Amino acid sequence: MQTNTRLIRKENYEPKELNLHETLFHNANGYIGIRGTLEEGVPTDYPTMRGQYIAGTYEIIPMKQAESLCNLVEEKQTMINVCDTQTIRLSVNGEEFAPVKGGVKDASRVLDMEEGYTERTTVWKSPAGNEIRVRIRRMAHFGIKELFTIEYEVEALNFSGEAVFDSVHMPEVANYSDPDDPRLADESPCYLKSVEKGFSGNRSFSVAETAKSGVRIAVATDHTVVSESRSDSMIREEGNALITRLRVPLKQNEKIAVIKYAAFSDSIRESDPKGKVMQVLKDAMKRPLSELYLAQKEYLSDFHAHSRMEIEGDAELNDAVLFNTYQLLCAAPHDAHSGIAAKGLSGEGYEGHFFWDTEMYVVPFFVLTDPTLAKNILSFRYATLPAARENATLLGHKKGALYPWRTITGVECSGYFPSGSAAYHINGAVAYAVIQYYLATGDADFMVTMGLEILLETARLWLDTGVYDREGRFCIQEVTGPDEYTCMVNNNYYTNASAKNNLRFAADLYEQFRDRAEVKKLAARLKLDKTEIADMKKAAEKMYLPYDEAYGINPQDDSFLDKPVWDLANTPKDVYPLLLHYHPLHLYRYQVCKQADTVLSHFLFPDLQSKETMENSFRYYEKITTHDSSLSTCVFSMTASMLGLKEEALAYFGDSAKLDLMNRHENTKDGVHTANMGGCYMAIVSGFAGLRITDEGLSVNPYVPKGLSRYSFPFAYRGRRLKLTVEKNSAKLELVSGDALEFGFRDTRAELGKEEPWVVKL
């Protein structure tokens, strides 16, 4: 089928629309992210988040508690707006190009996901009647991660004259804030102070530093002019700004262009960030821009070959899924110095913090499409394991590691511990991702050098947290599960199920690898003995998983069913999300869920309960879940698929897939919902297609939802490349490369050889 690889939107230059387009048309490559703001800027009364970001860079700021109780978090890390190199002000024959003030005859935006650029085209008529066509193409380069380019082209349609470009490099810029939204910062300071700035020839450069974290950011810009006529340039410093002015003659019907190159670097990764950006610009500008565009296209061709999903029967759904998977790539880190933020690199929502979302929703996508990127994400968790150990100590634990609820460097940044630090289930998410990566790749070297240590230290945390009750059940008290409308409870079902999985695999994989030299050294370093491994096995076996016989469901926790049920049917629509309109304590006293909790555990760990119990639970929680979290509907979709509830699965999936493109939560302006995009992928691959990877191997159980006629996707498994195609009446699994494979299909075993695809009637 023909896939639409371009997102095209009309640009009306209206404030609310511009704010949304800043997110949808941002540029990012896993290292740098640039919001899709207008080069010429907007009036001061327009809402805008004019940001440029580097993954993992941060400042430390106070977060004063009302009562300074023992070891409460009193400072946090926040992402920083590192610079402004976007600004280019254009004037033609002395008239400022200002489409927000009028004169627009036609305008559009494009995100090209095959070639890896965004483009804004505007036909504008000045007050004096001069008409120009402006085309601005931007690219964050996947091959040269420090490089961002702007190709600014102007065509005079009915006159000849002169174009003047004022290209700005602003080293000190403020962050965005909204004190009325807890998902954003409540102050807008400038976190960077210039250490050095100026020009080297015509090239601008700056080095700025944060006050407390000591992170240094280096940025450099340079320009080339494409014109038949001779252009003039002038450089100047104006306050904080470094400005390059370019004068270019304009002839009627002639296209002229200014190409702006910007390079970024930081002291977390580089010993000489300034030297790095200067070298990046020098090397990049030796190559024609067309060559850089071609390299970008080739990189994406390889990505799409391994990840592109095709859906027939719903063109909007097909486009949304492509948009989502492309955005996941834009957020994926190149190294172990950062994780994936809740908004990727598209905006400042949640202050750039990394949550459990990454491991539970995003890692599965990369495990199946690009295991190297999955390993990068998990390597970040290994690099921050010492901080997780320290976090556990601060919370009173004698052993183990507890990953922080929200972080940038591995240090806890959550000031509200009932729905933050108490969410111990993040340990289960990190462990689950490590396990899934190993089961899907067989990467034993990763396990013995990084993965096993993560599993053992997180398992130790459960042993130190849990207790055996009088009936001999292993119980976990005073924790918060994924549902943040229910906090500080005993025996949250999801948490206990995750801990059971963590404990079991930590013990099993240790025994599998214990004779390796690296593991013997690890055991000695951790002072690990057979008794502790036996304790892990016992705790996993005796883990208490709440069950209510009257309802035939798994209660979310010990006290959940004792609370009154929130009347969602009579709750006004304008008070959603509830967290913005009701005190947390009020929410905690009711049966009301922000997102999937027990329902998610049933999908992840289906062998723990009967199908009847899981379906009863699904129906029960469906009635009391608001889906105020973007992480919820995708989970309900994949769990519905697993239970054979096909109509419900498709309904929940559509809501999930189109969340950002349709701005369904009305907050995409703050950044994309990265984890939901991963969840959307899982809803197809693990939901509709029933693809599972367990310690018993690979299995599939596909169907085609009503309203769709066909879907297909490529994936990786244990060094193989495969492709699954599912139609109404048949499914086909092809071996693109690698060895023959035995796998599960429903209750049978099947074989896939090198010569012929496996085909089955449905």
Residue 479 CA from chain centroid, whole number: 25
Query: CA neighbours within 13 Å on the CB side: how many for 161?
Result: 18
* C-alpha triplet 16, 581, 490: angle, nearest 5°: 125
Residue positions counted in the chain: 762
* C-alpha triplet 266, 270, 271: angle, nearest 5°: 115
Q: Is 436 left (phi over 0), alpha (psi -120 to 50) or beta?
A: alpha
The answer, yes or no, to whether the previous bond of 577 is cis (omega within 30 of 0) is yes
Query: CA neighbours within 13 Å on the CB side: how many for 104?
Result: 16
* C-alpha triplet 51, 54, 58: angle, nearest 5°: 90
CA distance 145 to 373: 14
Q: Residue 404: which of 429, 426, 419 has the closest Cα? A: 426
Instruction: Decide if 666 contacts 47 (C-beta within 8 A).
Output: no
DSSP per position, 488-508: SBS--HHHHHHHHHHHHHHHH
DSSP 687: I
Determine which one of 22, 114, 359, 484 is catalytic. Answer: 484
Annotated catalytic residue 316: no
DSSP per position, 301-316: HHHHHHH--EEES-HH
CA distance 359 to 364: 8
List b or e across 626-656, with b for residues whose CB sees 16 or more CB atoms inside 10 angstroms: bbbbbbbbbbbbbbbbbbebbebbbbbbbbb
**How deeply is 44 buried, as exposed, middle or buried, from its count of CB atoms within 10 A (0-12, 13-18, 19+)?**
exposed
Partners of 761 in the β-ladder = 730
Q: Identify the three-state secondary structure at position 400.
A: coil
Place of tokens 């230059």: 13
Instruction: Decide if 207 contacts 197 (C-beta within 8 A).
Output: yes
Q: Residue 119: which of 32, 41, 39, 25 has the closest Cα? A: 25
Place of tokens 């949250």: 492
CA distance 149 to 257: 13
The token pair that represents 419 in the structure block: 């729905």
C-alpha distance from residue 210 to each of 33, 79, 716 (Å): 19, 11, 41
Give catalytic residue positions: 484
